[in-house]
Structure 1
Amino acid sequence: MSDLAWIAVDWGTSHLRVWLMDGAGRVLSRSESDKGMSKLTAADYEAALLELVGIDLPSDVQIPVVCCGMAGSRQGWFEAPYATAPCAAPTIEQATRVSTQDSRLDVRILPGIKQDKPADVMRGEETQIAGFLAAEPKFDGVLCLPGTHNKWVHISAEEVVSFRTFMTGELFALIGGQSVLRHSLGADGWDDAAFLDAVSEGMSRPAALGCDLFALRAESLLHGLGPVAARSRLSGHLIGMELAAARPYWLGRDVAVLGEDGIAKAYMSALNAQGAMPRAINAEDITLRGLTAAYTSLKDAQ
């Protein structure tokens, strides 16, 4: 592949995404695998990357590889230090260079961001933030980054001012897969009305979460609550509780949700119901834009 100039890598907890890029920022190919951080030891990363790249790399040059995400975690390929909020999104100058057995690879892992008080961390999202700000440098508001650990990030003057993380997605998976509610929930499907009713309940009385969740089991036994409605209501209760706690972030602010499908749609629906008027941004596009901005800085510095 003679046009290959660099490789962009987004290494998550459960998935790995790789883009082969030319020098003009065009995608030559995209691939992904399930070899995320949770399935690898530090010694496995290089082989997992080469397997997914799937081509014969040129033997006479080093190919820059720009990584974001969990490859830089303590359990990842090599721990990359955090920048400290408030701060601008980290740049390639702050990246950690990783030694590889294959001399054709020049791997750099972008740092995450930490917040000392209240204690919080992010890895990967900072690159999405950089990609978002590359397109909207004057943005002053809040980014909602849905995922297993949902983040609310206050952005002003091109800096991450503060952020909070909620384990809402992980709680949904644990409760839905390991609690008594697993007998009442569907594996898929969506009931938006049931979801929004539960969001309202979760916001208005978050302290009642424990009894409201058991009521889902009781309603399925006594009143025939369907598995799709039960699943949607579980999500609604948890997201409603999160929105109540995160109200200082989204209330009265410009809110952008980084994502368009799945759980991002649920956050959009919940926020719209509260009059927040969020807008959806393609998360993969801004991740790649953030990685491209990092590579461009690297190229300009050479």
Structure 2
Amino acid sequence: MTDGVPDWLAVDWGTSNLRVWAMTGDGRALGLRTSDRGMGRLAPEQFEEALKECAGDWIAGPVTAIACGMVGARQGWIEAPYIAVPAAPLGDRPVRAPTRTPGLSVHILPGMSQDRPADVMRGEETQIAGFLARSPGWDGVMCLPGSHTKWVQVSAGEVVSFQTYMTGELFAALSGHTVLRHSVGGDGWDDAAFAEAVEDARAAPERLAARLFPLRAEGLLHGQTAAVARARLSGLLIGAELAAARPYWLGQRVGLIGEGTLAGRYRAALEAQGVPVETADADAVTLAGLAAAWAGIRERA
């Protein structure tokens, strides 16, 4: 950092939020600033001002920003076309965004696509690249839990295939917009109920729809608590996902990218199947991926 200006900026720009880190040349984060001005709230011509507003005096002089996430979507600052798998997660070259501020250079990383079955990702590819940068030569399957959980096969430094599961969004919809909302309220939890439900759904995923309404009936007839019902709902959905994703994780080396409650639930569900899990902090691998992209830009300059 020179005269208050970082060597470069690492930018994670999603649909709802913007995060900007001030970075040193060797990839260390010196500070973080955040904003609620995510892609979903901005027109293309508003992105530059939103970045400057969030970064503040970090853009007081010439600086390069490397950005990942929905900022590169069709509705974002500028579209960064998908890279078709199999391919290295960062691709060959990011897309340069149009800027008016003297000295500000913004490079947006592309997402990845799969033709059959059709699938896409934006942002996760940067985390995968960061994971690989921190663990050179790693081969296996990565699980990235979220509202849309990704299962990703990685070999020889490339994403070979991936699949998205809307498990988190299904949980939000069922718990907030169906009759189950009367039974799963609050934030209580029961580990035993979760583990049992994971196994029930994994063993018989075709019965998932039939196992949902009993979460309501058990409360009405037998006094089942909201904590148990909530844990069972989560367990049923994650168990059904594990059943569907079995070709990805069975007998594979599994890396879990994430932290906090949700990642902990996936880890518990996988370990209950005898699957050893290697975990990585999502922010750490995001920054490592952005740093790898920045290093590539410098080499090509």
Task: Specify the TM-score bucket, using the shorter chain as the normaliser.
Answer: over 0.9
Q: CA deviation at 1:25?
A: 1.9
Q: CA deviation at 1:42?
A: 2.2
Distance in 1 between residues matched to 2:58 and 2:141, nearest whole Å: 43
Match of 1:52 in 2: 54
Look up the equivalent residue of 2:224 and give its one-letter code.
L
Look up the equivalent residue of 2:8 and give its one-letter code.
W
Look up the equivalent residue of 1:221 and give its one-letter code.
L
Using the size of structure 1 for normalisation, the TM-score is 0.95
Whether the aligned pair in 1 keeps the contact of 2:5 and 2:60 (CA below 8 Å) is no
**Pair 1:169-2:168 in alignment:** yes
Match of 1:27 in 2: 29
Match of 1:82 in 2: 82
5 Å-filtered alignment, 1:275-290, equals 275-290=274-289
| Number of residue equivalences | 299
Unaligned runs of 5+ in 1: none
5 Å-filtered alignment, 1:12-23, equals 12-23=14-25
Using the size of structure 2 for normalisation, the TM-score is 0.95
Q: CA deviation at 1:33?
A: 2.6
**Distance change (3 Å), C-alpha of 1:157 and 1:169:** same
Whether the aligned pair in 2 keeps the contact of 1:203 and 1:240 (CA below 8 Å) is yes
Whether the aligned pair in 2 keeps the contact of 1:148 and 1:168 (CA below 8 Å) is yes
5 Å-filtered alignment, 1:86-125, equals 86-91=86-91, 93-125=92-124
Look up the equivalent residue of 1:58 and give its one-letter code.
A
What SS does the aligned partner of 1:275 have?
coil
Look up the equivalent residue of 1:80 and give its one-letter code.
A
Match of 2:129 in 1: 130
What SS does the aligned partner of 2:256 have?
strand
Deviates more, 1:45-54 or 1:175-184: 45-54
Look up the equivalent residue of 1:160 and give its one-letter code.
V
Whether the aligned pair in 1 keeps the contact of 2:4 and 2:57 (CA below 8 Å) is no
Question: RMSD between aligned alpha carbons?
Answer: 1.4
Q: Deviations over 1:156-208 (max 9, x none)?
A: 11111111000111111111111111111123132111111111111112122
**Pair 1:4-2:3 in alignment:** no
Q: Deviations over 1:24-44 (max 9, x none)?
A: 322121122332223333233
Give structure 1 regions of 4+ aligned residues with deviation exceeding 6 angstroms: none
What SS does the aligned partner of 1:253 have?
coil
Q: CA deviation at 1:14?
A: 2.4
Q: CA deviation at 1:76?
A: 1.7
Q: CA deviation at 1:3?
A: 4.7
Distance in 1 between residues matched to 2:106 and 2:19, nearest whole Å: 15
Deviates more, 1:264-273 or 1:46-55: 46-55
Distance in 1 between residues matched to 2:43 and 2:262, nearest whole Å: 29
Distance in 2 between residues matched to 1:221 and 1:150, nearest whole Å: 32
